[in-house]
A and B are shown apart, each in its own frame.
Chain A
Amino acid sequence: MTTPTLAAKDYASNQEVRWCPGCGDYAILKAVTKTLADLQLVKENTVFVSGIGCASRFPYYMSTYGFHTIHGRAPAIATGVKLANPELDIWVVMGDGDGLSIGGNHTLHVLRRNVDLTLLLFNNEIYGLTKGQASPTSRRGTHSPSTPRGSLDTPLIPGAFALGAGARFFARAVDIQQSLLVDVMRRAHDHRGAALVEIFQNCVVFNDGVFHEFTARDVVDDNQVHVEHGKPLRFGKGGVRGLRVRPGTQQLEVITPGEDGMTDADVLVHDERDISLANMLVRLEAPVFPVAVGVIYDHPARTYETDLMAEVAAESAGGAGDLGELMAGGQTWER
């Protein structure tokens, strides 16, 4: 018997999608179903786990298994799912408040532990479901109902956080750039271990246009660098500009080959296994620098559940445990 080929729509549930019209989540949902279809994932072995927030409604709209849990805890729940059944293909959907504020601790630990999960961070730099408060990724000075004078705290850089936590995969994509998003999610899925994808997601109601500086049609070429392993870090229309490490420093700078004595050879080539480069790339901010998107870091390591299951197998090699023997171990006496 051959399994019929599944189309993107086959991965969508029959539930009415209830995000605001124009929300970036629609585009992400579309890209996810396409990615699953591209990969022909087996529905019954696929699980979407989410926390709380607009993004976290996601599992209801998939036709796979899904678990909409509690605020911030999706990585912890997903870890338990993996421990129970390492064969499952587990996707975690988090928002920026969910995954980096209330659930920041779990995100940190799931990354350093390297549990094999595909983690999608929908970053809209705002709390949407609770009506627009500043989030941990909101830029300083963000005016919101909870910060009427502008927010005071420095925003977190998800990529820097992830790499600092020991993530072995970090990538970025933009909700409306579908092919990039699909490519990146596919790469994240292929990566064995915790793979975090930060998706710049526009909140049309509470934070509309917050990413326009590098996602708007007229600036996307100049203000985004699409990183690819083994390829020069070039951007701008026709790839006229590039990034290099400024000699004598550990900082990136923008150069234009053909100007100021710069040549194509001066443009840095992306190496997705280079943690130092990844650390520099995640911190680039528009408009001075292009924002780095694509697979910034991918350097697989042993995964938590692989090692754990190897231990389980080794300790069970002599057969299952005998409870009677266990209880009668140590000092016993007959009466």
Chain B
Amino acid sequence: MTMTGPVAGTARESRESAVVRFAGDSGDGMQLTGSQFTTESALAGSDLTTFPDFPAEIRAPVGTTFGVSAFQIHFGSVDVMTAGDELDVLVAMNPAALITNLHDLRLGGLIVVDSAAFTTRNLEKAGYKANPLEDNSLAPYQLLSLDVTRLTQLAVADAGISSKEALRCRNMWALGLMLWMYGRSREATRGWLKKKFAKNAPIAEANVAALDAGHAYGETAELGHGLHGFTVTRADLAPGLYRTVTGTEAMAWGLVAGLQATGLKRLVFGSYPITPASPLLHVLAKLRKFGVVTFQAEDEIAAVCSAIGASYAGALGVTSSSGPGIALKTEAIGLAISTELPLVVVNVQRGGPSTGLPTKTEQSDLFQAVYGRNGDSPLPVISTSTPSDCFEVGIEAVRLATKYMTPVILLSDGYLANAAEPWLLPDVNSLPQFPVAQRTDPEGFHPFLRNPETLARAWAVPGTPGLEHRIGGLEKSAETGHISYDPANHQKMTDLRAAKINGIARDIPRQEVSLGEETGDLAVVGWGSTWGPIQQAVRRARNRGQSVSHIQIRYLHPFPSNLGELLRGFGQVLVPEMNTGQLVTMLRSTFLVPAEGLNKVNGKPFKIGEITAAIDARLEAQS
């Protein structure tokens, strides 16, 4: 072992929070390693947020920079809302992982590397002209250079596995060391390994041996080499039963809770594989006994059409995709608007345009959701801000779709779908209930009879005697539901469709301020996964005495009825978005407020520091 850099103490030091990133080849098992570190941290009582960041290639060529897969976790005793701006520890399994991740490490942060991976060939592939472990270029950091390869081989020598299989245990060795460093248990991981490799005992044994060896190494090294461990105290979370949850899981369960709230028997989920939305199909595919029928269609169009067909026949139709797939579904969403059928469309956004950055997050489909269809075709658009928020928003999407007989677009993103956080499990008995009544009475029926309050049309489903009717994408008479080309009727129907959706503003909560006063110098307005960094940046600004508030908008169309008035109560409005300025444009055009954007599209979530800097710049310019 070599240990360079600022001298480290030997005692276990206390920390409020820490940010650790595991980085390696896409075949090195970094996502599993990170997930297990997450589980152990959660079980130890930390609040946390994770950020899995992986390449689009499944197994990119070994040692290349574009094949680096990383998993970042921010955990601590304080309110953790982002995956962390800067890393405290970077575990780099090869030179490519080091060179692509080093810039996120804070000065003085710890680098743990497997020195055996720093071969001439790997250094060349990563673009290093000299070995960074030897040329003093890592001097600003603490460097822990270990021959993890050899240490792992030694640890698993007795397991009776091949040398190739032995090498695949390196990630568990690194995990063991990091679990030691933060004083975490290995119990859950041991159990998980035994279960995962239940059919291959030698592999399970080898992985556990590597895990234990990494852990033991930390304990031993602490005595002799000054490597030190940390204590991160438990977070002050509300009492109750917790689990970690990803946005994908919470979304799936929210949709199921929504189904149960309606009293409908079946949810038909039509979907087509696309990154990063497919995991929602995978989770829902296991939920048949909850009345969920998943259908992997031949394409995105068939996926949405099957969901629409299902809604027409009285089930809850749901489809999901990411931007390119949503583009393909667009015509069919228009049909659901025209025929006024309930439909939930989940868009797990990714970088665009076109194929763009499939595995990187972005918020650039807002315009697509709100405006991206032919004709005047309004529908509600709502967004989710954190992984666990996906649960509530999933329920809300079902409520709006069934109550207003309309497609609803639910905007999530790649970061939220994959990120995990602790979640206080909700009491299922206190979840909202909104039973849906399908029409059965033939008296005076026509398919476009409307509820005078919501303007929703009657949902009459095949199988119901006496309600046989025909609907379609042609304009229909407001009075009879039959096809109508009458000009005045088209005006009336267009107005009705708009009024129905606009009326939803009366049925959603007033816009509240997430943090701060209802008036002030600056409002920082966000939507979606920018919630965490905005909240933290605003908190810091307020701690410094700045007059800043955070407003997080869930309902993007229609906006909450008081939003304009609320925004006008601030001297300035700053809108951070992972796009080139979509919400900010909508706010400016809707409310004529001088909102300004803070925009970036580099495939990564905002850092708190980036928003802090923008807050400071606005307030300094003002003063």
Could you tell me the distance between the alpha carbons of A88 and B244 in the complex, rounded to whole angstroms? 42
Question: In the complex, are the beta carbons of B290 and A320 less than 8 A apart?
Answer: yes
Say yes or no: B470 contacts A80, CB within 8 Å: no
Of the candidates B243, B309, B469, the one whose C-beta lies within 8 Å of that of A81 is: B309
Decide: A47 and B462 in contact? CB cutoff 8 A: yes
B310 within 8 A of A: yes
Contact present for A63 and B468 (CB under 8 Å)? yes
Minimum Cβ distance to chain B for residue A314 (Å): 9
* Tally of A interface residues using CB under 8 Å: 59
Q: Select B268's contact among A69, A83, A105, A106, beta carbons within 8 Å.
A: A83
Please tell me if the beta carbons of B312 and A105 are within 8 angstroms of each other in the complex: no
Q: Which listed residue, A15, A84, A328, A331, touches B314 by the CB 8 Å rule?
A: A84
In the complex, what residues of A have CB within 8 A of residue B307's CB? 80
Asked if residues B253 and A68 are in contact (CB atoms below 8 Å), the reply is no
Pairs across A and B, CB under 8 Å, 30 listed: A13-B470, A44-B466, A44-B468, A45-B462, A65-B462, A66-B469, A66-B471, A67-B339, A73-B305, A76-B305, A78-B309, A79-B295, A81-B312, A81-B313, A81-B462, A84-B268, A84-B315, A85-B461, A106-B298, A106-B301, A311-B288, A316-B289, A319-B289, A320-B289, A323-B253, A324-B427, A332-B241, A335-B238, A335-B242, A335-B424
Q: A87 and B290: CB pair below 8 A?
A: no
A68: which of B237, B256, B474 is its contact (CB, 8 Å)?
B474
Nearest Cβ on chain B to A106's Cβ, whole angstroms: 6
Chain A proximity of B448: nearest CB distance (Å): 14
Task: Report chain A residues within 8 Å CB of B483.
Answer: 15, 60
**A326 interface residue, CB < 8 Å from B?**
yes
Q: Which residues of A contact B298 (CB under 8 A)?
A: 76, 105-106, 108-109
Q: Mark A295-333, 1 if CB is under 8 A from B, else 0.
A: 000000000000010011001101111011011101111
Chain B residue contacts of A328, Cβ below 8 A: 241, 243, 425
Given A65-B470, A108-B298, A323-B253, residue A334 in contact with residue B242 (CB < 8 A): yes
CB-contact partner of B290 in A64, A77, A321, under 8 A: A321
Q: How far apart are B411's CB and chain A's nearest CB, in angstroms?
A: 23
Q: How far apart sit A67 and B313, CA to CA, in the bound complex (Å)? A: 10
A15 to B482, CA, bound (A): 9
Closest to A332 in B: B243
Q: Which A residue's beta carbon lies closest to that of B43?
A: A333
Measured CB to CB, the closest approach of chain B to A4, in angstroms, equals 13
B302 CB–A CB distance under 8 Å: yes
Q: With the chains together, A308 CA to B294 CA distance in Å?
A: 10
A-B CB proximity, top 4 nearest? A80-B309, A68-B472, A80-B306, A66-B470
Q: Is the CB of A335 within 8 A of B237?
A: yes
Chain A CB within 8 A of B353 CB: no
Q: Which residues does chain A contribute within 8 Å of B311, judged by CB atoms? A: 80, 84
CB of A195 within 8 Å of the partner chain: no
Q: How far is the CA of A312 from the CA of B268 in the complex (A)?
A: 12
- Measured CB to CB, the closest approach of chain A to B120, in angstroms, equals 43
What is the CA–CA distance of A65 and B470 in the complex, to the nearest angstrom? Answer: 6
In angstroms, Cα B469 to Cα A47, docked, is 10
* CB-defined contacts of A82 to chain B, threshold 8 Å: 309, 313
Q: How far does the alpha carbon of A77 sit from the alpha carbon of B313 in the complex, in Å? A: 10
Cα A67 to Cα B306 in complex, Å, equals: 13
Which of B241, B469, B472 has the most A CB atoms < 10 Å from its CB?
B472
> Looking at chain B, what size class is its interface with the partner chain?
35 or more
A323 to chain B: which residues have CB within 8 Å?
253, 256-257, 260, 290, 428
Query: Would you list which residues of chain B between 303 and 331 have a CB under 8 Å from chain A?
Result: 305-315, 317, 331
B contact residues around A62 at 8 Å (CB): 470
CB A117 to nearest CB in B, in angstroms, measures 11
Is the beta-carbon distance between B306 and A83 smaller than 8 angstroms? yes
Q: Which residues of B contact A321 (CB under 8 A)?
A: 256, 287, 289-291
Q: How far is the CB of B473 from chain A (nearest CB, A)?
A: 6
For the complex, what is the distance from the CA of A326 to the CA of B291, rounded to whole Å?
A: 14
Min CB distance, B483 to chain A, in Å? 7
With beta carbons under 8 angstroms apart, the residue of A70, A315, A332 that contacts B332 is A70
Bound CA–CA A80/B461 (angstroms): 13
Interface residues of chain A: helix, strand, loop or mixed (majority): mixed
Determine if A193 is an interface residue (Cβ-Cβ < 8 Å): no
Query: Are B309 and A79 within 8 A (Cβ)?
Result: yes
Interchain nearest-CB distance for A61 vs B (Å): 9
What's the Cα separation between A37 and B461 when bound, in Å?
22
Contact between A69 and B473 (Cβ–Cβ < 8 Å)? yes
Q: How far is the CA of A105 from the CA of B469 in the complex (A)?
A: 28
In contact, A76 and B291 (Cβ under 8 angstroms): no
Bound CA span A324–B427, Å: 7
Q: Chain B: residues with CB nearer than 8 A to chain A?
A: 39, 42-43, 45, 188, 237-244, 253, 256-257, 260, 266, 268, 270, 287-291, 293, 295, 297-299, 301-302, 305-315, 317, 331-332, 334-335, 339, 424-428, 461-474, 482-483
User: Given A68-B471, A320-B291, A80 and B462 touching (CB < 8 A)?
Assistant: no
Question: Contacts A80-B308, A84-B310, A332-B243: A315 and B470 contacting too (C-beta < 8 A)?
Answer: no
Centre residue among B299, B315, B468 by max chain A CB count within 10 A: B468
Closest CB in chain A relative to B334 CB, distance in Å:
8
A335 touches B468 (CB 8 A): no
A332 touches B290 (CB 8 A): no
Interface of B is mostly: mixed
What is the CB-to-nearest-CB distance from B337 to chain A, in angstroms, rounded to a whole number?
Answer: 12
Flag if B45 contacts A333 (CB, 8 Å). yes
Chain B neighbourhood of A335, CB < 8 A: 45, 237-240, 242, 424
Asked whether, in the complex, the Cβ of B462 is within 8 Å of the Cβ of A68, the reply is no
Chain A residues near B260 (CB, 8 Å)? 323
- Write the nearest CB–CB distance from A53 to chain B, whole angstroms: 12
What B residues does A78 contact at CB under 8 A? 309
If A44-B464, A44-B466, A321-B290 touch, whether A73 touches B243 (CB-CB below 8 Å) is: no
Answer whether residue A59 sits at the interface, using C-beta atoms and an 8 A cutoff. Answer: yes
A147 to chain B, nearest CB (A): 26
A81 and B310 within 8 A (CB): yes
Q: How distant is A92 from chain B, measured CB to nearest CB, in Å?
A: 11
CB contact between B313 and one of A13, A44, A80 (< 8 Å): that residue: A80
From A47, A330, A331, name the one whose CB has the most chain B CB atoms within 10 angstroms.
A331
Contacts of A80 in B (CB 8 A): 268, 270, 295, 305-313, 317
Interface status of A43 (Cβ within 8 A of chain B): yes
Interface flag for A126 (CB, 8 Å): no
Known interface pairs A45-B462, A68-B470, A69-B335; A83-B310 also in contact (CB < 8 Å) = yes
Excluding A73-B332, A334-B241, 18 further A-B contacts by CB distance (< 8 Å) are A44-B463, A47-B313, A60-B472, A65-B462, A65-B468, A68-B470, A76-B302, A81-B462, A83-B309, A84-B311, A85-B462, A316-B289, A323-B253, A323-B428, A327-B428, A328-B241, A331-B42, A335-B242
Cβ of A331: which chain B residues have Cβ within 8 Å of it?
39, 42-43, 188, 243-244
Give the docked Cα–Cα distance between A105 and B305 (Å).
13
CB B284 to nearest CB in A, in angstroms, measures 12
| A324, closest chain B residue (CB) | B428
**A49 adjacent to chain B (CB < 8 Å):** yes
User: Smallest CB–CB gap between B479 and chain A, Å?
Assistant: 15
The smallest beta-carbon distance between B3 and chain A, in angstroms, is 34
Contact in complex: A69, B472 (CB < 8 Å): yes
Q: How far is the CB of A97 from chain B (nearest CB, A)?
A: 16
| Cβ-defined contact, A85 with B242, below 8 A | no
CA distance A70 to B39 in the complex (A): 47
Q: Residues of A contacting B472 with CB < 8 Å?
A: 59-60, 66-69
| Contacting residues, chain B, for A65 (C-beta < 8 A) | 462, 468-470
A77 and B243 in contact (CB under 8 A), knowing A44-B468, A331-B42? no
Taking the closest CB of chain A, its distance from the CB of B308, in whole angstroms, is: 6
A93 CB to closest chain B CB (Å) equals 12
Q: Please measure, in the bound complex, the distance between the C-alpha atom of A324 and the C-alpha atom of B243, giving whole angstroms.
A: 12
User: Nearest chain-A residue to B234 (Cβ)?
Assistant: A335
Cβ contact within 8 Å between B471 and A105: no
**A105 and B291 alpha carbons, distance in the complex (Å):** 28
Contacts of A70 in B (CB 8 A): 305, 331-332, 334-335, 473
